[in-house]
Amino acid sequence: MDKCIYNEKNGLWYELQGDYYLPCLKLPEEGEVHIGIWGQQHLRYLKQYHRVRYYNLLTSGKLNDYLVDVENWAQQMFDELVNALSRNENLTEGFKATNPVEWVRKSNNIRNRAAEIVNQEVIFS
């Protein structure tokens, strides 16, 4: 008995698995890409709260490209927010030289606020 059969009606190959013929399906090939922290956070969010969107992106082969776009958008927004907040609070190199401990405190505060905004606007939406 042949393990694989072709169905001309729907154009799919089927393989015998136990007593049943199951379609031989493969996901489209995706290129190797680097997905940073923002993309990974969004991936976890999709898997947990938006499973349909996650599986649609996964099965269409667009998940990695989508996550790279989210990563780039989030990183750009984060960098712009950090720069804008630093300018607004006069966080300069001169201040860093005169009061390094306070500069680190304010710098961390700005980065945390920017991360919260990016999470709210991009990652968890």
Tell me, yes or no, whether 54 and 99 share the same domain: yes
Residue 82, pLDDT score: 97
Give dist(CA 71, CA 60) in Å, integer: 19
- Considering the domain architecture, whether residues 15 and 52 belong to the same structural domain is answered as no
> How much helix, strand and coil, in percent to the nearest 5, is found in the chain?
65, 10, 25
Torsions phi, psi for 85 (to 5 deg): -65, -35
Q: Are the C-beta atoms of residues 38 and 71 closer than 8 Å to each other?
A: yes
State which residues form the domain around 8.
1-30
pLDDT tens by residue, 21-77: 888 877 656 667 789 999 999 999 999 999 999 999 998 889 999 999 999 999 999
pLDDT above 90 for 4 = no
Task: Inform me whether the pLDDT recorded for 9 exceeds 90.
Answer: no
Neighbours of 53 (CB within 10 A): 13
Question: Which residue type, as a one-letter code, is found at position 79?
Answer: D
CA gap 61, 79 in Å, rounded: 29
Same domain for 25 and 53, yes or no, is no
CA distance 90 to 113: 16
Tell me how many domains the chain contains: 2
Both 13 and 74 in a single domain? no
Tokens 């976890």 appear where?
A: 44
User: Bigger pLDDT: 17 or 46?
Assistant: 46
Look at 8 and 2; give whichever has higher pLDDT. Answer: 8
- What is the predicted pLDDT for the residue at 13? 82
Statement: the pTM of the whole predicted model exceeds 0.95: no
Q: What is the mean pLDDT of the chain?
A: 90
Partners of residue 5 on adjacent β-strands:
14
Are 43 and 89 in a shared domain?
yes
Q: What is the pLDDT of residue 12?
A: 82
> Are both 53 and 15 inside the same structural domain?
no
Say if residue 17 is in the same domain as residue 41. no
Q: What is the pLDDT of residue 97?
A: 94
Same domain, yes or no, for 60 and 22? no
* Residue the block writes with tokens 């009606």: 9
Predicted pLDDT of residue 16: 83
